[in-house]
Amino acid sequence: MAVAELTLIPIGTEKTSVSPYIAAALDAIGEVEGLSYELNPMGTILSHRDLGVLYNVIRKMQESVFENGANRVYSVIKIDDRRDKDYTFKDKVKSVNEKRLTK
């Protein structure tokens, strides 16, 4: 399972708000079988069994920002590609929380 965190930062826009660009980027990916994603305040977590699918999703999201009027897009991508077991990004969070001393 591959998990990616994507942060898209539109540059060269008239307004400082990025939410319209991020909303359009999420809409641009449509329905991708097997894709899970979760928006957070600083980016989007994406997961899929096939890293190639994630690359395509990331490309679509970035292109969407350009298509919606940004002159430049700064993207930050972190990828965890683990192949020795099945897991989800929620499993990763659960594993850490189970190990915390204070709950």
- Please give the pLDDT value at position 23: 97
Q: Provide the residue ranges of all domains of the chain, joining segments of one domain with +.
A: 2-99
Mean pLDDT (the chain) is 94
Does CATH place domain 2-99 in 3.30.70.930?
Answer: yes
Averaged pLDDT, 50-66: 97
Bigger pLDDT: 12 vs 55? 55
Instruction: Name the token pair of 99.
Output: 């190990």
Q: What is the mean pLDDT of residues 51-62?
A: 97
Q: What is the mean pLDDT of residues 15-27?
A: 95
46 exposure class (CB count in 10 Å sphere: 0-12, 13-18, 19+):
buried
Greatest CA separation found in the chain? 47
Q: Which of 53, 5, 6, 52 is nearest to 33 (CA)?
A: 53
Arithmetic mean of pLDDT, 96-103: 86
Which pLDDT does position 103 carry in this prediction? 64
Name the DSSP letter for residue 8: E
Helices (H), 1-103: 19-29, 51-67, 89-99
With contact defined as beta carbons under 8 Å apart, do 88 and 37 qualify?
Answer: no
The pTM of the full predicted model, rounded to 2 decimals, is 0.88
**Rounded CA Rg of the chain:** 15
The average pLDDT across 27-52 equals 95
